[in-house]
A and B are shown apart, each in its own frame.
Chain A
Amino acid sequence: MSKPAIIFDHVTYQYDSQAEPTLHDINLTINQGEKVLIIGPSGSGKSTLGNLINGLIPHAIPGKITGQVTVMGQDVENSSLFDLSLHVGTVLQDPDSQFVGLTAAEDIAFAMENDATPQAEMKTRVRQWATTLGIKDQLGQSPQALSGGQKQRTAMAGVLVDEGDVLLFDEPLAALDPATGKQSIELIDDLHRRLGITVVIIEHRLEEVLAQPVDRVIVMQDGRIIANETPEALLKTPLLREIGLREPLYLEALDLAGIDFNDTTGITSVNTIEAPNLKQKLSDWLTGEPAHQKPAGLKPLLAIKDLTFGYPKGPKLFDHFDLTINRGDMLALVGENGVGKTTLSQLITGFVKPDAGTMTFAGADLATQSVKERADQIGYIMQDPNQMISKIKIFDEVALGLTLRGVDEATIKAKVEDALKICGLYPFRNWPISALSFGQKKRVTIASILTLSPQLLILDEPTAGQDWRHYTAMMRFLEKLNRDSGITMLLITHDMHLMLEYATRTVVLGHSGILLDAEPAKVLTEPAIIKQARLAETSLYTLAKRMDMDPFAFTAAVIAHERQERHV
């Protein structure tokens, strides 16, 4: 019954701009109605594979193909992009940049407009799909007014109107908060079952995608397929760790407790996993771990008192808000979108002025200092490094802050080289910035702030869009700065793993102030907070509950153990 939807037959592909092929001899068949996950580290070629399915390669991005790709019986190389798009609907990574309509309704109708569909029919079908995806009330709104989840649903509706056979998702979780990401994966599963379409998901976050059943996981590395298995079989092998992808957290816990994955059943979900003596082994392990210790004796670095602020014509974001950041904190600031996380950092850096309240930094009142003066002590790193970089050469970019402050050249050279060494960029100092990867660019922006010797670094989503290996490298680097150079960190993030594993303290921001200020593991064991802040509970919590263990003690122990291993 299962007919093939997508066939790769000995496909090798090389971008015109690259010296080496990105894909090597790919053989792959995906059947109609299957749900397949393609994972792999950054640069493994998984996005390239996706672009061969929807035809962007070779039709919009030039390169050299050998072998044959067939999608729904059509040879990709010899069909037009337009014909292929009738079969394959693609939802790109960043819904913001693929919006073309002025309102959600127009964006959904875009493909139909191009097919010259009569207006009345368009209106019916837009309404129908908007209802299916739960965005009926947002049809008249502009894309900027939509939440991340609504944007993605609009993008989905925009390709579902084609009623194609294959739906392709390129990193659907990248731009979403944890709770929305979870809903999004549920929605994809629901569409897959109800419409019987073939679904291909490209992601590097395995655990989140596996929250719903997947037929097969295809693992890519260095342009080759190195595994093509059911999730069950894949999770039992050590392959993921070997290639720098993260296995689900609950499996890490099982591993610590010395459980052999081959003895388990139901390994794909924390709700179904079983092993002989599972409960006993886990609680034995927990008893053997040292008791959790609280950090003590901290001195305040930044004290915010009685802060009140709201944008003109907007609601009050902060109303008599108090927060003290201590020296040496590695503080994660989490909370729902729009709750004022970025605004808080802009109040601290002086980009916006508070309506009332005081901020004291290292004993001095911030209100009397200009943006520039504050920047000498407080560094602010934006999410997108491209928005911060204004020079062509790495050295010049890193030196910029000092040059502008009129520092003499010898000092500049010494400080810049120092910062470049700390950031691991010294060998590249004469390179053009454009030759760097996203993660390296981020390091450039950090290096350029480090030259000003800040005491506090504010980082907005430091690991967004990076795979586990790069994520780990970035976070270890930040951790090292925090530990060795004593720089206090304020991390604004949606990433629960980051918060859990690297932060020493978490502040959950809600609409009416701070919901919780505690150790990271504590936050994820408070269901009410999780719900309010649109976070997602981790599988460690779920596992501990299932095994009748104390979720906080268990989560804290697993994380503490991992940290220790990291520092060895």
Chain B
Amino acid sequence: MSNLFGFDGGDTWLHHLSGATKMLAFVGISIIAMASYDLRFTAAIMVMSLILFYQAKIKWSQVSLVVKIITAFSLLNLITVYLFSPEYGVQLYGTRHLLFGSGYLTVTSEQLFYELNLLSKYIVTVPLALIFLITTNPSEFAASLNKIHLSYKVSYSVALALRYIPDIQNVYHQISLSQQARGYELSKKAKFSQRLKGSAQILMPLIFSSLDRIDTVSQAMELRRFGRKKHRTWYMDHPFAWQDWLTLAGTAAIILIGAWLFKVNGGRFYNPFR
């Protein structure tokens, strides 16, 4: 089973950035890109995020499934937006340049421009999210969350959850196989409702074995003094380097440009049709 959202070690400058930096940059840039409907701006960030994705040297095989799923849903979304309201762009921009079509299903330049805006937003966020998930070591991320003043107990539970995902996947798989041998058909041959019922049967043993584990792990942690002091240090801690500050400064600059464009455009929308 491939690790869908797992950290994958690497040696690019993006891997060396602190996890908190990457999270702040990802959240900051995504928000401004979502808010802005200035295609010049979002297209520029889109190009940047694609370049970054290329620089992170992420293996295509690791993300291909996720990317395909997201692409499919994005296209579906774009089509639905059009089908529900083919003239939404006309309403937004106040002009109407008909390209072709008639009746309900018309295609206007305004609608195309609006949907292009949407598309660019998707393309901005997806590579950034993948970069964050795949180039961030969960332990280092926990350490950096702690550094931005989140309680270390909370920070550590984030890392611990990530640590146990593969284990739980494994146990789930084992239980599922044994239930199948008992007679639950969970393969594609069975009806969906049956598969759902069968899957529910896996949950009870899974929960019980997980509860046992939690008990043992928490004892093991206490035996090694987790929670003894107000502060703890982190083996994977990674001091903020100039690259981190530069990245944060760059993020701030992008956000400021986005905000400045709101002012220039007199709102969130850039209107080329006026």
Contacts and interface: CB of A to CB of B under 8 A. Distances in A.
B209 A387 contact: yes
A234 interface: no
B178 A387 contact: yes
Interface in A319-357: 346, 349, 351
Given A56-B223, A382-B174, A372 B180 contact: yes
B154 interface: no
A94 interface: yes
Contact of B223 (A54, A99, A372, A405): A54
A389 B205 contact: yes
Between B179, B181, B222, B236, the greatest number of chain A beta carbons within 10 A of the residue's beta carbon is seen for: B181
A118 interface: yes
B202 A114 contact: no
Interface in B226-274: 226-229, 231-237
Interface residues of B, number: 52
Interface stretch (B21-29, B33-41, B69-77, B159-167): B159-167
A106 B224 contact: no
A112 B229 CA distance: 11
Main SS of chain B's interface residues? helix
Contacts of B236: 106
A370 B183 CA distance: 10
B97 interface: no
Contacts of A349: 177, 181
A109 B227 contact: no
Between B171, B177, B202, the greatest number of chain A beta carbons within 10 A of the residue's beta carbon is seen for: B177
A113 B234 contact: yes
8 contacts: A60-B222, A82-B228, A113-B233, A113-B235, A114-B232, A144-B167, A370-B185, A371-B177
B139 A101 contact: yes
B183 A386 contact: no
A123 B221 CA distance: 20
Nearest to A59: B222
B182 A448 contact: yes
Interface in B172-194: 174-175, 177-185, 187, 189
B98 interface: no
Contact of B201 (A60, A351, A390): A390
Contacts of A106: 139, 235-236
Given A81-B223, A375-B180, 19 more contacts: A56-B223, A100-B217, A102-B159, A102-B162, A110-B221, A110-B226, A112-B233, A116-B232, A119-B233, A144-B167, A159-B223, A351-B177, A371-B187, A372-B183, A372-B185, A386-B209, A387-B171, A388-B182, A404-B183
Contacts of B175: 387-388
Interface residues of A, number: 60
B216 interface: yes
Nearest to B237: A119
B19 to A, nearest CB: 13
A92 B220 contact: yes
B213 interface: yes
A335 to B, nearest CB: 20
A387 B174 contact: yes
Contacts of A346: 177
A114 B224 contact: yes
A122 to B, nearest CB: 5
A520 interface: no
A380 interface: yes
B232 A371 contact: no
Contacts of A97: 213, 216-217, 220
A387 B183 contact: no
A137 interface: no
Contacts of A370: 185, 187, 189
B100 interface: no
Contacts of B174: 382, 387
Interface string A104-147: 01100111111111110011001000000000000000001000
A81 B231 CA distance: 18
Between B166, B187, B219, the greatest number of chain A beta carbons within 10 A of the residue's beta carbon is seen for: B219
Contacts of A400: 182-183
A98 interface: yes
A351 B180 CA distance: 9
Contact of B138 (A90, A102, A448): A102
Between B162, B167, B217, B235, the greatest number of chain A beta carbons within 10 A of the residue's beta carbon is seen for: B235
B225 interface: yes
Contact of B227 (A114, A351, A448): A114
Nearest to A86: B225
Interface string A363-388: 00000001110110001101010111
Given A123-B235, A387-B205, A380 B139 contact: no
A390 B137 CA distance: 36
B78 interface: no
B68 to A, nearest CB: 18
